[in-house]
Amino acid sequence: MILAILSSAFLALCVFAAMHDVNRLTIPNWLNLTLAGLFVPAAAVSGVPMEIIGGHAMAAGCAFLIAFGLFAFNIFGGGDAKMIPAVILWLGPNATIPFVFMMAVAGGGCALLILAVRKYMPAEALPGAIRAPFEEKAGVPYAVAITAGVFAAGGSSPFLSEILNRIGLFS
Counting residues of the chain whose pLDDT is more than 90, the rounded percentage is: 88
Query: What is the tally of structural domains in the chain?
Result: 1
Q: What is the pLDDT of residues 52-88, one digit of tens each?
A: 999 999 999 999 999 999 999 999 999 999 999 999 9
Q: What is the pLDDT of residues 85-116, one digit of tens each?
A: 999 999 999 999 999 999 999 999 999 999 99
Q: Is the pLDDT of residue 171 over 60?
A: no
Residue 74, domain extent: 1-167
Q: What region does 153 belong to: left with phi over 0, alpha with psi -120 to 50, or beta? A: alpha
Reduce the secondary structure of 131-168 to three states and give it as a string. Answer: CHHHCCCCCCCCHHHHHHHHHHHHHHCCCCHHHHHHCC
